[in-house]
Structure 1
């Protein structure tokens, strides 16, 4: 059972996250032949205050 873990900054819509889950599942199916129903995708959303880019928080940078 493949488990794919994604860390990304908060702010994407539910529709975008659904699309990501679908596309990652399909990629795993194609790449390693894992049955789609066995693929697990975990999305960890990181608050913008806890996501650093170039020495500053994403919130401070307006991301």
Structure 2
């Protein structure tokens, strides 16, 4: 059972999240030959003040 964990900045709409879940599920099924009911996806919103790259917060 594939589980996909997606962490992204806040701000995506519910429709965008639905589309992402559908596209990830479809791609996973094509690549692994599994059925959609076998794919689990966790979408986690992260605030920009809680994410850094190269030592700098994205909120800065």
- Per the TM superposition, whether the score is higher than 0.5 is yes
Q: Which runs of 5+ in 1 are unaligned?
A: none
Provide TM-score, normalisation by structure 2. 0.87
RMSD (Å), alpha carbons: 1.1
2:5 matches 1:5? yes
2:56 aligned residue = 56
Number of equivalent positions: 60
1:14 aligned residue = 14
Q: Which runs of 4+ in 1 moved over 4 A?
A: none
Provide TM-score, normalisation by structure 1. 0.83
TM superposition shift of 1:54: 4.0
SS of corresponding position for 1:42? strand
* 1:33-48 superposed matches below 5 A: 33-48=33-48
2:25 matches 1:30? no
